[in-house]
Amino acid sequence: MEHTKCLIIGSGPAGYTAAIYASRANLHPIEYSGLQPGGQLTQTTEVENFPGYPQGVDGNQMMMDIREQAERFGADIRDGEIVKVDFSKAPYVCTAENGTEIEAETVIIATGASAMYLGLEDERKYNGQGVSACATCDGFFYRKKTVAVVGGGDTACEDALYLSGLAKKVYMVVRKPFLRASKVMQQRVREAENIEILFEHNTLGLYGENGVEGAHLVKRKGEPDEELVDIAIDGFFLAIGHKPNTDIFKEWLDTDEMGYLKKIEGTPRTKLPGVFVAGDCADPVYRQAISAAGSGCQAAIEAERYLMNQ
């Protein structure tokens, strides 16, 4: 069994930033990068809103840069996934998919969240070419264009309103005959002149030569008056929710109803001493690279202070 002062589970802006700070504090962290090394940003193309890249940067390149910075300070970053944790007593024992067991004095959880998709083959085909699960990340690329937002909850309404300030027109593709969002959000969407709500519509697929040019929809699917509808769009935004990657921790840590890990308010600490959280696995609100990186910094500083006080 290996032993470490600090084990970081997951990568992305949160995990890699935690590794930078933990390494500089001489904690000699071990980090497992998880199923998706670099996190959700590796699924996007250009990132324009992260400080320090005035011309923008490819999401994969940015994650490689931050990883390289962590490794320069001595972080032991490993490809692979932690599949089991035992938080019954400290030091905590975590097991990797290859069977390696690591005894950790502190653990930083930065496993992120995965955007929920409709399951269409076209979503993969046009990923990064018109399909996005983050309006605030990618909306800027659709100024004065036409986009569609899939979903009928608060997140979908927020995304539609955000995009309405940039795009020429925003369609909301809503499966049900009503919006599930709060009354105030419904009212704001209805008052926006360039938002059109398509109730009782399901997406069948997307089309386009060099990126998304439109969507194939079906209205009132399965009903006698079922109707096929095509809409011309430049961007297709998923807003049907995110699933935090927290299943292996639920036995030991508190989560909200969606599965996001709960932390002591205003800190990255959990109810277990020496276990900290960072990034989207504990953030259903902001879900930005910069906020994730900041939380990774906080978690590493808290881990260092915890160890100093032991």
157 is catalytic: no
Q: Could you tell me which of 179, 162, 181 has the C-alpha nearest to residue 170? A: 162
Catalytic residue (one of 6, 94, 122, 134): 134
- Residue given tokens 């929809």 in the structure block: 217
Catalytic residue (one of 137, 157, 281, 297): 137
138 is catalytic: yes
297 is catalytic: no
Catalytic residue (one of 94, 122, 138, 157): 138
Active site residue ranges: 134, 137-138
